[in-house]
Amino acid sequence: MQPRKKVLIVIGILLLISIPTLFFIMNLLNPPPPKPFDLADAPVEIQLIKQDLKEKLEDDTLSWDDINDFIILSQYIADNSPDVADLVEGWEKTAVIDVTDAGYLWFIVENNIVIIETGSTPPSSSDVTITMKFEIFSKILANDETAISSFQKGDLDFTGALNDALKIGRLARIFAVTIMDGDMDIIPSTINLIITEDNPELYEKGLTLMPCTEMIVDNGTSTFGVGHVIIYDHDGNIKAQLDDSLHWVHKFINSTTVLMGGAEGYAQLWNYVTGVIETLPIPGGHHELDYNPKTDTYLVLEDAYSNETWDGRYILYDILSEYNSSGDLVWQWDARIEYPFNETIYTGLNLNETFRAGTDWMHSNSFSWDKDDDVIFLNMRNQDTILKINRTTNNILWAAGRYGDFTILNVSGYEVDSIFFHPHSLEWIGPNRFIIFDNGLYNPDYPPSMVLGTNEGYSRFVEFEIDEDNMIMREVWSWGPTNLSYYFPDSGGDADRLPNGNTIGIFANKALTNSVDDPVIITEVTRDGEVAWELMVPGANNTNYWTHRLERFYNAPIIKVDNNSLDFDSTERTLSLNLSVWDTFKQDAPSPGHLKIRVNGIEIYNEAFDFLKQWQETELQVSLTELPASVNYIQLIIENADGLQGIVLLYGIVPEGTPTTSLIIPFMVVTAIVVPAIFLVLIKTGRLSIRRSSVMVINK
């Protein structure tokens, strides 16, 4: 028997054996939602404590003097509840709840055991610290509030990884619903994608990646559920999915590897083809991070409180930190030093009404890193203002927006105070040219947008340019629907310029901020304002979704040949043409590529070039002489750094069986036993890397 057949037979046997194991593992990874713990068999003392706590919570007479009873009851539940055991299995953390006007409560989780204690001096080192007043603590126990809704209102804050904070919140929720005889049933939901507009002649087919975090809406409050990352095509087919991920921000660092961060306390790399995940020794930050392939460094948006207070709350600043791949800090821009608090600006638009605790001075939510000019453009949501920062000197070169130095002109040429309101997702798309998602939140010209929680408004995509010589900020293009019901997200939102000139973005995230059943809408529009394609994520039952940003990408480089320039002279044996190309993914740095010409299947020309950053149009020219005397067909090949190829037939007929395009290996459904074993061997032998060499290509 041939070795190849033997290998196939062995793999087939392994697949058959491991299918039941796969379903078993999937069940372990997706356990049913926990329920209140049944105290019917508990000692009478425990039942009496539970009843007393419930009555006090209902009568609003609970005090910190009752905390010892709460700990006795909670410890009993923690020691006996299967749901608690499942929740903390393999999770070793210390979490402190700082009830600022009462005292401390802490959870120590080790060896799958939860220890709950109280006192005046908490552990000196904790993985997560949750801060609130006793009034909020009581409301959460009484199920009148959720931790997430309190966090949105600024009544609760935390330090540490969001995933850890959510797990502690879920643990406390088990205790709370047990006390209040509540029910934690959450109906499982399947992510359902619905195409609501589809005009193929107006778009370039590709794939879209976005986070999709479950939002459980119940009695006017929202609670985070399971986080997913999904990749889908223009037909709404999900091609890859990563579960149990709460990262908000995703950026491609090569054709198949995604940098993830923003929520779990650390950054990760996910290869969506192989499924391999690598945890990086750098913080995940919040809202934004980026990678520099030239220096192998990561720029992370972080935050920190200063010692200053305003209205009794510490002032929260944003920080830009650059780390090398070993996790060492190599550069930092600290707004506590470079952009100090200004009370006049902060009170100008009731800016304290935001979704982060403390005095949220900036609430930066995106940046664009121009690695060629060594500058960073930082979008400060709360101030409707963008800073241009010199990375070499740390100086602020200019501020543009409501509190900036520029005259602002709308698309009609009239001077205005601002062309965007609490925007998200700033992106550089060309020299002094940007695109941004204008949420339309806190727009003084539209009062309904000024009331957090019940607000209405008009969100849109906005393109603008900066004239540094004349100090003018000018809106040059925008698109926005007029439907107030669906198209107004007051949290999140995205606007990305695509290679064909279309713009794609995200509308609607009310499930998080307003705790209402509301779909997520992905809309792609042309330069002329036509809707080319639209997809809706409606949710199901009481589960909706929240998504922050998206990334469009392609299986092969995009090629646009200028047919008017194409000239093949078989007599003179010459070929000339002009073309434009774009890489498969978007990044803030040039990326290497190759232009190749094949005649009759034989490569006769190979030229290196760089794809321009941020999907700017890369223009190339071909001028060849002395082609072969006999030409049956001519192919143009554009190949990126990962070996992905776009192939265009310039002349003739390609023989049957000749590759006409480059294909990434299809998304494969494999078992939890076979794949990890294969990849562990490859990684150990050095034959597989998570970085550029991890791309899997056919027909290189």
Q: What is the pLDDT of residues 314-332, one digit of tens each?
A: 999 999 999 999 999 999 9
Average pLDDT of the chain, as a whole number: 84
What is the pLDDT, as a whole number, of residue 475? 99
Q: Kindly report which listed range (96-105, 181-190, 289-298, 658-667) carries the lowest average pLDDT score.
A: 658-667
Burial code (b: 16+ CB inside 10 Å, e: under 16) for 176-201 equals bbbbbeeebebeebebebeeeeeeee
Whether residue 159 is predicted with pLDDT greater than 60 in this model: the reply is yes
Which tens digits make up the pLDDT trace of 573-607?
A: 999 999 999 999 999 999 999 999 999 999 999 99
Which tens digits make up the pLDDT trace of 612-652?
A: 999 999 999 999 999 999 999 999 999 999 999 999 999 99
What is d(CA 484, CA 440) in angstroms, rounded to the nearest whole number?
11
Q: Which two tokens stand for residue 659?
A: 């590759």
Whether residue 493 is predicted with pLDDT greater than 50 in this model: the reply is yes
The mean pLDDT of 131-139, rounded to a whole number, is: 92
Phi, psi angles (nearest 5°) of residue 448: -60, -15
Which percentage of the chain shows pLDDT scores above 90? 59
Going by pLDDT thresholds of 50, 70 and 90, the confidence category of residue 157 is: confident
Contact 62, 56 (CB under 8 A): yes
Q: Which two tokens stand for residue 440?
A: 């339309």
State which H helix or E strand residue 48 sits in.
Answer: helix 44-59
The mean pLDDT of 400-404, rounded to a whole number, is: 96
Which has the closest alpha carbon to 262: 393, 116, 162?
162
The mean pLDDT of 667-693, rounded to a whole number, is: 36
Which tens digits make up the pLDDT trace of 3-15?
A: 444 444 444 444 4
The mean pLDDT of 179-186, rounded to a whole number, is: 58
What is d(CA 475, CA 477) in angstroms, rounded to the nearest whole number?
6
Beta bridge partners of 300: 289, 321
Contact 584, 498 (CB under 8 A): no
Task: Report the 10 Å Cβ neighbour count for 566.
Answer: 16
What is the pLDDT, as a whole number, of residue 346? 86
Contact 249, 264 (CB under 8 A): no
What is d(CA 100, CA 68) in angstroms, rounded to the nearest whole number?
17
Which tens digits make up the pLDDT trace of 344-355?
A: 888 876 654 555
Q: Which two tokens stand for residue 54?
A: 């419930």
Amino acid at 510: K
What is the pLDDT, as a whole number, of residue 248? 84
The mean pLDDT of 228-254, rounded to a whole number, is: 91
Whether residue 112 is predicted with pLDDT greater than 60 in this model: the reply is yes
Beta bridge partners of 504: 496, 524
Beta bridge partners of 316: 305, 360
Contact 578, 620 (CB under 8 A): yes
Q: Is 449 helix (H, G, I), strand (E, B) or coil?
A: helix
Which percentage of the chain shows pLDDT scores above 70? 83
Amino acid at 458: Y
What is the pLDDT, as a whole number, of residue 169? 82
Q: Which two tokens stand for residue 435?
A: 């695109």
Give the CA-trace dihedral at 592, 594, 595, 597, to 10 degrees: 180
Which residues lie below 8 Å from residue 149, measured CB to CB, with a gap of 6+?
221, 222, 515
What is d(CA 116, CA 486) in angstroms, rounded to the nearest whole number?
44
Contact 438, 421 (CB under 8 A): yes
Answer whether 0.75 is exceeded by the pTM. no
Going by pLDDT thresholds of 50, 70 and 90, the confidence category of residue 693 is: very low
Which tens digits make up the pLDDT trace of 501-535?
A: 999 999 866 555 555 667 889 999 999 999 999 99
Q: What is the CA radius of gyration of the chain?
A: 28
Going by pLDDT thresholds of 50, 70 and 90, the confidence category of residue 40 is: confident
What is the pLDDT, as a whole number, of residue 180? 81
Whether residue 386 is predicted with pLDDT greater than 70 in this model: the reply is yes
